C-alpha cells in the first residue's frame, strides 16, 4: 500500500488537542463516521492551477465586499503615541489615569480611529502583567460593554 | 455601534500575564491573528486564558488553532450576544487565532455541514470519473477549509475557501510498487446579486509520490485534475440550488468542525479536518 509510507504524516494527531474550560457547555466536534478511512492532507503538491474561465462579475463583486470585512490584527511598529499620551507621560501621569483617559476618549468619540488608538495604547500597557492588571481593573464589564457599544 | 464584540488573549491563566485586546469591528466578519503577530507579541504557543465581551450586536466566536495557518486541532469559545463578559482557561499549542462575528442583529442563520452536503456527491462523482483508470480513491476525502491563505498560489489571502483533499492510489503494472498521489480543490462560495449562494472553482492541485514513474503518472493525472475543476464547480452549484429554497441570502461564512446548532455561550473543540460548518445568513 503506497500510502503506508506516509501514514505518520497523514494520521490524525493524538494528544495534540487544544483544551478549554470555562463558561457554558463544552462540546466535541464529532468527525463523520468514515473518519477512520480518512488520510489527512499532506502539504506536498507537484503542480497547481486555476480556472481558465473568467470569474463571474457577481463573484468578483462579492470578494471585494468580503475582503473589506476581514481585518488582520497587526501591531503597527511605527505607531506614534498621540500628543495627549506624550503629554500625560511628560506630566508624570500614572498608568491607571492614562487608561481612564483612553476609555473616556473612546466613549466621547467612538470611531475606528479612536478604537485603534485605544487598542494600541492598551496593548502596549498589556505587554506586562502589571499593565494587564491595570487594564483589567479599569476595563470593568460595564465599561467594556459601553466601549464596545460605542459609548452608549 | 463601533464593534461587534471584543476580547482579550492572556498569557497567564485566570486572565493574568501579558494581554492583547482584540475585536471585530462593526459590519466586519473576521479578524485573524497570524502566527507572526502572536510570535512578535509573545503569545505564540503562550495563550492560557481568553475573554469575550459581547453586546446586543452579535455572538462573539474566538477560534484558537494549533497550526500557524488556521488549521488543525482547534478550540472555539463563543459568547452569545448580550451575554456580556465571559472567560475560559485554555491549554495546548495555539499557533493562530480567528475572531468571527455571528448571529448578527437583524439577521437569521441557517447552518449546513460541508460533509453532509457534499461527501456522497463527491465520492460518486469521482468514482465514476476514475472508472477503468489506473487511479482510484484512497479512502474518504478530507473536507476542510483554507482560511486567509498567505502562501497558496492562485488564492486571495483576504478570503476564506473550502478545500477538498482526496488521496489516490495509482495501480502499477508488473511488480512495480503502486504509487500514492492526491488531488486538491479549493472552492469559493459567494452570494450572487440576486441573493443566491453559488460556488466558484478557485484552484486545483495534484501530487504524486516521488519515483521513476512519477513524471509519467503526473502527465496522465494533471489534465484529469485540471479539467475536473469545472465539473466539480457544476456539481457543487447543482447542490447549492437547494439553498435557493431558503429565500434571499445575504452572506455566508464558516465555522470550524461540525456545529449544527448555535453554541450561544460555551465552547467546542475538534479539528478543522472534521468538517466545515457553512453558515448562511439572511435578513431576519
CATH of the domain at B37: 2.60.20.10
Domain end: B105, B120, B146, which one? B105
Cβ separation of B6 and A148 shorter than 8 Å? Answer: yes
Q: Which helix (H) or strand (E) holds B64?
A: strand B59-65
Q: pLDDT digits over B144-157, tens only?
A: 999 999 999 999 99
pLDDT for the residue numbered A13 = 67
Q: pLDDT digits over B253-271, tens only?
A: 999 999 999 999 999 999 9
Residue A108 included in any domain: yes
Q: What ipTM is given for this predicted complex?
A: 0.91
With cell 483576504, the residue in question is B158
Which residues of chain B lie closer than 8 angstroms to A35, CB-CB? Answer: 140, 274
Q: Is A136 helix (H, G, I), strand (E, B) or coil?
A: helix
Which residues of chain B lie closer than 8 angstroms to A126, CB-CB? Answer: 18-21
Ranked by mean pLDDT, which of A77-86, A140-149, B242-251 comes out on top?
B242-251
* Residues B168, B118 share a domain: yes
Report d(CA A122, CA B87) in Å as an integer: 19
pLDDT score of B204 more than 60 = yes
Which residues of chain B lie closer than 8 angstroms to A148, CB-CB? Answer: 2-3, 5-6, 23, 53-55, 57
Residue A39 included in any domain: no
Which residues of chain B lie closer than 8 angstroms to A127, CB-CB? Answer: 18, 41-42
* Residues B55, B31 share a domain: yes
Which whole number is the average pLDDT over B47-62? Answer: 93
- The range of the structural domain enclosing residue B79 comes to 1-105
Q: pLDDT digits over B7-31, tens only?
A: 999 999 999 999 999 999 888 999 9
Report d(CA B114, CA B216) in Å as an integer: 34
Which whole number is the average pLDDT over A100-110? Answer: 87
* Residues B137, B69 share a domain: no
pLDDT for the residue numbered A117 = 87
Report d(CA A41, CA A57) in Å as an integer: 32
Cβ separation of B275 and A31 shorter than 8 Å? Answer: yes
Residue A112 included in any domain: yes
Report d(CA B227, CA B230) in Å as an integer: 6
* Residues B121, B43 share a domain: no
Mean pLDDT score across all residues of chain B: 94
* Residues B234, B200 share a domain: yes
Residue A110 included in any domain: yes
* Residues B81, B22 share a domain: yes
Count of domains in chain B? 2
Which residues of chain A lie closer than 8 angstroms to B169, CB-CB? Answer: 1-3
**Which residue does chain B place closest to A124, by CA atoms?**
B20
pLDDT for the residue numbered B190 = 98
Cβ separation of B205 and A47 shorter than 8 Å? Answer: yes
Report d(CA B150, CA B145) in Å as an integer: 14
Report d(CA A65, CA A35) in Å as an integer: 35
Report d(CA B73, CA B94) in Å as an integer: 9
Which whole number is the average pLDDT over B86-102? Answer: 96
In this complex, is the C-beta atom of A133 within 8 Å of any C-beta atom belonging to chain B?
Answer: yes
Cβ separation of B75 and A18 shorter than 8 Å? Answer: yes
Count of domains in chain A? 1
pLDDT score of B214 more than 60 = yes
- The range of the structural domain enclosing residue A100 comes to 83-148
pLDDT score of A38 more than 90 = no
Contact of B96 with B34, CB cutoff 8 Å: yes
Q: Which residues contact B186 (CB under 8 A, 6 or more apart)?
A: B146, B152, B154, B155, B161, B162, B163, B164, B201, B202, B203, B204
Amino acid at each position: 500500500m503506497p500510502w503506508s509510507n506516509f501514514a505518520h504524516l497523514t494520521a490524525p494527531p493524538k494528544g495534540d488537542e487544544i483544551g478549554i474550560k470555562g463558561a457554558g457547555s463544552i462540546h466535541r466536534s464529532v468527525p463523520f463516521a468514515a473518519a477512520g478511512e480518512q488520510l489527512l492532507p499532506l502539504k506536498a503538491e507537484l503542480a497547481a492551477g486555476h480556472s481558465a474561465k473568467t470569474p463571474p462579475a457577481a463573484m468578483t463583486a462579492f470578494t471585494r465586499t468580503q475582503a473589506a470585512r476581514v481585518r488582520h490584527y497587526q501591531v503597527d511598529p511605527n505607531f506614534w503615541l498621540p500628543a495627549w499620551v506624550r503629554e500625560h507621560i511628560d506630566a508624570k501621569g500614572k498608568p491607571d489615569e492614562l487608561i481612564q483617559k483612553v476609555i473616556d476618549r473612546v466613549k466621547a468619540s467612538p470611531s475606528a480611529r479612536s478604537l485603534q488608538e485605544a487598542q494600541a495604547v492598551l496593548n502596549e500597557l498589556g505587554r506586562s502583567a502589571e499593565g494587564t492588571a491595570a487594564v483589567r481593573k479599569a476595563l470593568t464589564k460595564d465599561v467594556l460593554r459601553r466601549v464596545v457599544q460605542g459609548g452608549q | 455601534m463601533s464593534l461587534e464584540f471584543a476580547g482579550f488573549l492572556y498569557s497567564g491563566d485566570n486572565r493574568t500575564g501579558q494581554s492583547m485586546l482584540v475585536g471585530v469591528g462593526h459590519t466586519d466578519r473576521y479578524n485573524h491573528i497570524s502566527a507572526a503577530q502572536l510570535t512578535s507579541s509573545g503569545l505564540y504557543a503562550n495563550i492560557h486564558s481568553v475573554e469575550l465581551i459581547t453586546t446586543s450586536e452579535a455572538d462573539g466566536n474566538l477560534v484558537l488553532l494549533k497550526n500557524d495557518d488556521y488549521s488543525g486541532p482547534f478550540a472555539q469559545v463563543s459568547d452569545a450576544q448580550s451575554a456580556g463578559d465571559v472567560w475560559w482557561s485554555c491549554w495546548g499549542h495555539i499557533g493562530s487565532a480567528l475572531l468571527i462575528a455571528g448571529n448578527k442583529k437583524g439577521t437569521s442563520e441557517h447552518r449546513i455541514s460541508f460533509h453532509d452536503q457534499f461527501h456522497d456527491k463527491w465520492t460518486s462523482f469521482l468514482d465514476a470519473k476514475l472508472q477503468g483508470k489506473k487511479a482510484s480513491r484512497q479512502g474518504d476525502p478530507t473536507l476542510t477549509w483554507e482560511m486567509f491563505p498567505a502562501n497558496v498560489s492562485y488564492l486571495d489571502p483576504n478570503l476564506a475557501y473550502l478545500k477538498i483533499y482526496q488521496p489516490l492510489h495509482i495501480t502499477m503494472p508488473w511488480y512495480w510498487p503502486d504509487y500514492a498521489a492526491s488531488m486538491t480543490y479549493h472552492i469559493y462560495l459567494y452570494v450572487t446579486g440576486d441573493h443566491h449562494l453559488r460556488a466558484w472553482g478557485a484552484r486545483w492541485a495534484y501530487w504524486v509520490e516521488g519515483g521513476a514513474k512519477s513524471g509519467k503518472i503526473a502527465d496522465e493525472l494533471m489534465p484529469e485534475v485540471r479539467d475536473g475543476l469545472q465539473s466539480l464547480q457544476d456539481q457543487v452549484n447543482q447542490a447549492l440550488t437547494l439553498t435557493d429554497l431558503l429565500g434571499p441570502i445575504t452572506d455566508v461564512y464558516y465555522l470550524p468542525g461540525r456545529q449544527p446548532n448555535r453554541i450561544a455561550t460555551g465552547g467546542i473543540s475538534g479539528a478543522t479536518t472534521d468538517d466545515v460548518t457553512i453558515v448562511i445568513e439572511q435578513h431576519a
